[in-house]
Amino acid sequence: MSIKVTIDGKEIMCEPNQTVLDVAKKNGIDIPTLCYIPIYDTNRSGTCRVCLVEITGGGRPGLQSSCTLPVSQGLVISTKSEAVYQARRTVVELLLTEHLQDCRNCPTSGNCNFAKFCRDYDINGVPVCSECPNQKDGCLLSRGVLCLGPITFANCNAYCTRRGYRCEGCHSTIINEDVLHFGLEAYRNAGFVAEQILEAATVFSSRDIHILKKVMTNIGMLKGKPKRRGHK
Amino acid sequence: MKIQKLSDLEEIGKIGEKTLRRGKPQLIFGLGTCGIASGGAPLKDFAVEYLRKTKTDAGISIVGCIGLCYVEPLVDVKLPGKPRVTYRDMTVEKLKRVIDEHLIGGRPVKEYALAQLAGELSVNVNCPLESTTPYEGIPTYQELPFFLKQLRIVLRNCGVINPDSLEEYVARGGYKSAFKALHEMKPEEVIEVVKSSGLRGRGGAGFPTGLKWQFARNAKGDKKYIICNADEGDPGAYMNRAVLEGDPHTVIEGMVIGAYAIGASEGYLYVRAEYPLAVKTLEKSIKDAEKYGLLGENILGSNFSFKLNIMEGAGAFVCGEETALMASIEGKRGEPHPRPPFPAEAGLFGKPTNINNVESWNTVPIIIEKGAAWYSSIGTKGTKGTKVFSLVGKINRSGLVEIPFGTTVKDVIYEIGGGAQNNRAFKAVQTGGPSGGCIPPEHLDVGIDYENLKALGAIVGSGGMVVMDEDTCMVDVAKYFLGFTTEESCGQCTLCRVGLRRLLDVLDRISTGEGKESDIDTLNHLAIQVRDGSLCALGGTAPNPVLTTLSYFRNEYEEHIKQKKCIASVCATLFDAPCQNTCPAGTNVPGYIQLIRDGKYQKAYELNLEDNPFPSICGRVCEHPCEGRCQRGQFDEPIAIRELKRFCVDKTLEKKGKPSITKLKPNNKQVAIVGGGPSGLSAAYFLTKLGYSTTIFESSGKLGGMMRWAIPKYRLPHRVLDNDIKNILDIGVKVRLGCIIGKDVTFSELAEKYDVLYLAVGAQLDQKLGLEGENLPGMMPGLKFLHDVNNGVKPHIGNSIVIIGGGNVAVDVARTAKRLGCEKVTMCYRREKEDMPAYTEECDAAWEEGINFHFLVAPEKVIEKDGRAVGVVFKKMKIGNYDKWGRRTPLPTEQTIEVMADTIVTAIGQVVDQKFIDTIGHEFATSRGTIKVDKYNQRTTNLKVYAGGDAATGPASVIDAISQGKNAARSIDKMLSGEDGFIELKKKSKIKYSMKLPDNEKKMIRQKPSELLAKERVCSFDEVVQCMDARCAKKEAERCFRCDIMSKEAKE
């Protein structure tokens, strides 16, 4: 135990030839990961950038991936600084822009890393379905209940639907049109019509109703001229 | 033979010296890649043939690039004992003459010559270029502004030696340093020398080289490697290529010395595959070096062995990053890995590795030769030595320049580069390629070094400097570089792979008119996250162009987002034709030119009236920014847009035509306009067209403002002005003349009675000189002088008049004074002729009319006699250095000059009458005494009050005032009606014109209108410039390329 490092103000003695992530785990400090493969070979990890920590002393200052950063004498690390928070948040937001959010049909729902990240880092990106464990037959929609989960931002760990109540959309309606697509298709397949959904969503999201209407028009749930999103 | 002793080396050197100093006449061709690309190879082939045909006993030498890209292809002639003369822009015909007259005949051809080398140009002292007496009439290289500030260390042999000749390299001192290091120095001593020299890595990061070598030396390992990074991926960077193709042995020698110091036994030269000539040259050089025992076993007879391999890249920008480069050598995909661990500990194949850039290796031998103290005496405190920069873009003299650190950016652009091309305004210089940032004019004084550029948000990087002018769109620049780095991302880490793409999405939306207000903050925040969290320097630096353009050119982003306008006419979705886009009023130039071409003059006039109520005025006095942006100007000459505008109006009036003006249904809203000048009249015109009831309050007895009171009649006859004003009055604008706000009606009365007010009182007072005696009789303010003349009053000015100033008002006063019979008219300006703000055509006309000019004089004291001003004492100025804006600052000398005159006129600028500001209240004013407005909607601090024209901007042009009146009308309409009435107006317009693309891509001269002769015209106030005749107008209209049609097709 010859190397001394400081993580979040706590001095820790550790063996050499390890990464900061290894040492943090062994000492009960939680650093989130996604692409991390627990093999000590720095060429295999460090690419998702979720495990970023900030070096504030004992090395080149800045953000480094903790899964590849070897411990060294006198290294001072912060896992909770503002820079780390912003960086991790941005990573998740970016990943979500390329992520197919068909949460109602995804087996990870209820136990999804993305949903957990969104809760931890205060991101409005995924629908309540990502946190809800009632997939397939358990889904309230298949029982004819107008649950607003598919078009509502998650952040509550699906508190209501886990207990069998429909989601009322209190965390406000999703404004990402790609994600809305999936949700609205689900309603259509379950036999709901545009007016019902709009009436329910108006309770908490009257300000964003026009986005719902726009996507509904685009997929033919509502009459009107479809507007093409974005430029040609 | 293997070189083992110093005497062996000297023998090789003697062979090289013989070919360098040949005793017979030489033709020298620079055949690096760009020499060949600009057509140098056929010139050499011709020379070979021609020399054979004429049986001339002369030699032909091939050398590398000397950096004078802007005048390639170059051919040099050297006669024994005489200077080497460089000929520029050579063709076969010119070469034939040069060979005949200079090579054979012994007399240089001065008109083709650029410069002569009459001595050594670089820091090299071995076998230097002969010192000879220069020929007369040809500047030496040292006298050329391009070379004046250069210090050639890296480029010491480029353009001098044959790159394929190891012997010539040795003659110039090559491999002496390697010998010294291997035989006389210990490895640690070599590292100490490199450390104390202060050399920092030239690849871009600027890490201290000696320290890096130390780390590699200290690392534990049985095998060590060194690498030369010759991947040079930045678009537009070719400094390394010049060295690899023109002087490759410097790199090899540097690597031998470095390998010895570090303890490496093998090395790789990683060259990008897109440099085939460099690869070929290096392969030969390595073979020659091995042959001579300079590489391989027991180098130079010592115990040290070192093998050097060449590795070609495969087209990936990211492989310029050291860990990705090493992965590539190992045969893997070029993906960077996180550092630590650093290559010095575990690099190529897991062994300690030291990697340096071409320029860094190239500098090592000369540091060993001349010593660390010498090298560290060059440069700044933090950054020692020199750097080669590629100066490219919209610059007059482009090429490779090697300058000591500390040279200012300003000097590089103006002294060395000669400023922006075609007299366009310099806008920014981008340094460091796609990883770098833009530097605007306000920071040009900065001395170039790693720290200073980093503080500005830019980087030194590989040394690329791309010059941009006013025709460059900064949003587009960010988009261009981001497009490049997005493609080149290796794709491993989220922030770079996805983040750069999202940044590009936002930039795409902004440049196609779909930007949102929140986009600027989104870009800023995301760019910073990508920069700080990426795995490697590609993602770490790719956001720099975005961040610097946002920081220094935020207004361009805002214009794209809020106004959907690309002021540089680059983002194609946002405009039709650049001329129309550049006109502040947005006049449909291609449309009315087409109508003129088809003989429909009245329709052309009416099309003008849709955007500008004063086409006959602008057709005479506008400064025509449209013509500066005319695309035809890139082909032969810009279209005479202003003259054509005047033509269609004059021709319509000739035929007594009355143009019809579209109007919307009248509504019951009332607008009051204070000021009957161009801005007020324009606002009244458009508001009435939109259906509003407008009343103009004008303090004088006539409408027109500066158009009537300031512009002389020989430029703008009053009948023309009156005709345009009549059009405006005829559509129903009401006027109250002789009405002063605060006296005849109060400001609060107006505010109460009318729904909206528009203030356009102009800047009608002359700026004071601030000298004692300036109010004495004999002194006269310029605007007052012009006002009196235009009002029919003839001021007493005597026989001699002096005018202080260099703007349009000053020239107007001068030419008017001449017409009043004043014999001696002198203009005194504090800078030089080319700096005069007045229109060039006005200055030329003044000179033709016999007006005298004194330049570089600034007024110091008024000379008084008997209570009257009789002259001025001027301080003579001398021209100083360039300021950041590309103008040379005048500095006072000790000398003065007295100019006596019967009348002295001051015309040094105009200011807003503060009495008006007092009347409306100082909460409306800015610190400069103008009226504070939001530049997008022309609104003042009061929601009901709008303002525009000179009163809001300070003195500007007539088209600016007119366009602001139009802009204000639009804003007022949007506020009062909730909609944009201009869209309705456009729908009502029934003017149609042909949309057929013309077939006119052959050079045609620009038609000129005729003018009265100078001698005749000074006797009267008759209009000087005449209207074009119909034939000329048609010819000129036929030259228009109709950029709007091509633009429309491109959008579909």
- How far apart CA B680 and CA B949 sit, in angstroms, is 8
Residues in B lying within 8 Å of A, measured between beta carbons: 337-338, 340-341, 492-495, 498-499, 502, 508-509, 512, 514, 525-526, 529-530, 532-535, 573
Tokens of B884: 């950041």
Predicted confidence at residue A125, as pLDDT, reads 86
Mean of all residue pLDDT scores within chain B: 93
Q: Which residues of A touch B509 (CB under 8 A)?
A: 230-231
Q: What is the 3-state secondary structure (H, E, C) of B608-666?
A: HHCCCCCHHHHHHHCCCHHHHCCHHHHCCCCCCHHHHHHHHHHHHHHCCCCCCCCCCCC
Mean pLDDT, range A113-120, rounded to an integer: 91
What is the pLDDT at residue B880?
86
The per-residue pLDDT for A136 is 72
pLDDT at A70 over 60: yes
Cα B702 to Cα B718: distance, rounded to the nearest angstrom: 11
Measured CA to CA in angstroms, residue B279 lies from B31, B173, B270, B554 at distances of 15, 24, 10, 44
**Ramachandran sector of residue A28 (left: φ over 0; alpha: ψ -120 to 50; beta: rest):** left
Question: Residue A228 pLDDT more than 60?
Answer: no
Q: Which of B274-278, B846-850, B996-1000 has the lowest mean pLDDT?
A: B996-1000
A/B interface, count of CB pairs below 8 Å: 69
Residue-wise pLDDT for B527-563, tens only, equals 999 999 999 999 999 999 999 999 999 999 999 999 9
Check pLDDT > 80 for residue B769: yes
Could you tell me if B1040 and B1005 are in contact, meaning their C-beta atoms sit under 8 angstroms apart?
no
- Which is nearest to B466 in space by CA: B415, B503, B412? B412
Condensed to tens digits (0 to 9), the pLDDT of residues B437-480 reads 999 998 988 999 999 999 999 999 999 999 999 999 999 999 99
Residue B405: pLDDT band (50, 70, 90) is very high
Note whether B938 and B747 are within 8 A (CB). Answer: no
Q: What's the rounded Cα separation, in Å, for the pair B442 and B436?
A: 18
Cis omega before residue B340 (within 30°)?
A: yes
Question: Closest partner residue to B494 among A43, A49, A68, by Cβ?
Answer: A49
Residue A175 banded pLDDT, cuts 50, 70, 90: confident
Nearest to B494 among A59, A86, A94 (CB): A94
> For chain B, what percent of residues have pLDDT higher than 70?
100
Q: Which amino acid is at B27?
A: L
Kindly determine whether residue A63 and residue B337, on different chains, have CB atoms separated by under 8 Å. no
Region B201-208: mean pLDDT is 92
Q: Please write the tens of the pLDDT for every residue from B727-739.
A: 999 999 999 999 9
pTM of the model as a whole: 0.90
- Comparing alpha-carbon positions, the chain A residue that sits nearest to B505 is A230
Instruction: Please tell me the predicted confidence (pLDDT) of residue A52.
Output: 96
Residues of chain B positioned with their CB less than 8 A from the CB of A97: 498, 502
H helices present in B534-588, as ranges:
537-541, 544-552, 554-558, 578-582
**pLDDT tens digits, B421-444:** 988 889 999 999 999 999 999 898
DSSP assignment of B85-143 equals EEE-S--HHHHHHHIIIIIITS---GGGEEEEE-S--SS--SSPPPP-PPPTTS-BGGG
Q: Is the pLDDT of residue B829 over 50?
A: yes
pLDDT on residue A231: 39
Compute the distance between CA of residue B895 and CA of residue B657 in angstroms, rounded to an integer.
Answer: 60
Mean pLDDT of B669-690: 96
- Amino acid identity at B764: Q
User: Which pLDDT value is given to residue B898?
Assistant: 94
Nearest chain A CA: its distance from B532 CA (Å): 7
Q: Over 50: is that where the pLDDT of B282 sits?
A: yes
- With cut-offs at 50, 70 and 90, classify the pLDDT of residue A40: low
Name the helix (H) or strand (E) containing B680: helix B678-689
pLDDT digits (tens, 9 = 90+) for B496-525: 999 999 999 999 999 999 999 999 999 999
Report, as an integer, the average pLDDT of B719-723. 92
Share of chain A above pLDDT 70, in %: 94
Give me the torsion for CA of B315, B317, B322, B326, rounded to 10°. -20
pLDDT at B797 over 60: yes
From CA B340, how far away is CA A70, in angstroms rounded?
Answer: 7
Nearest to B861 by CA among B953, B771, B990: B771
Does the pLDDT of residue A44 top 90, yes or no? no
Chain A closest-CA separation from residue B1022 CA (Å): 55
Rounded to whole angstroms, how far apart are CA atoms A89 and A44? Answer: 23
B165 neighbors B16 (Cβ within 8 angstroms) = yes
Of the candidates B675, B683, B672, B682, the residue with the CA atom closest to the CA atom of residue B762: B675
Kindly report, residue by residue over B385-402, the tens digit of the pLDDT: 999 999 999 999 999 999
pLDDT of B60 strictly over 90: yes
Return the amino acid letter for B524.
N
Distance from CA of B514 to the nearest CA of A (A): 8
* C-beta atoms surrounding B80 within 10 Å: 12
Tell me if B340 and A90 make a contact (CB, 8 A cut-off). Answer: no
Does residue A43 carry a pLDDT above 60?
Answer: no
The pLDDT of residue B772 is 87
Min Cα distance B528 → chain A (Å) is: 9
Percent of chain B with pLDDT over 90: 87
Residue A13 DSSP SS3:
strand
The C-alpha atoms of residue B613 and residue B729 are separated, in whole angstroms, by 11
DSSP B864: E
The predicted pLDDT at position B21 comes to 85
Determine the Cα–Cα distance for residues B932 and B925; give it in Å rounded to an integer. Answer: 5
Please provide residue A29's backbone torsions phi and psi, each rounded to the nearest 5 degrees.
-100, 125
pLDDT band at A230 (very low <50, low <70, confident <90, very high): very low
Say how far apart CA B1005 and CA B1013 lie, in whole Å: 22
Q: Name which of B439, B433, B434, B463 is nearest B450 in CA terms.
A: B463
Q: Report how far residue B964's alpha carbon sits from residue B973's, in angstroms, rounded to the nearest whole number.
A: 14
Q: What is the mean pLDDT of residues B821-846?
A: 93
| B466: phi then psi, degrees, rounded to nearest 5 | -105, 120
Reported as a pLDDT band with limits 50, 70 and 90, residue A229 is: very low
Mean pLDDT of A184-204: 92
Averaged pLDDT, B925-933: 91
Is residue B900 pLDDT above 80, yes or no? yes
Contacts of B431 (CB under 8 A, 6+ apart): B409, B437, B439, B453, B458, B459, B460, B461, B464, B465, B466
DSSP state of B779: E
Q: Of B603, B610, B631, B761, nearest to B685 (Cα)?
A: B610
Please list the alpha-helical segments (H only) found in B238-292.
Answer: 239-246, 249-262, 276-291
Instruction: Tell if the CB–CB gap between B337 and A68 is shorter than 8 Å.
Output: yes
The candidate with the shortest Cα–Cα distance to B809, out of B787, B834, B831, B777, is: B787
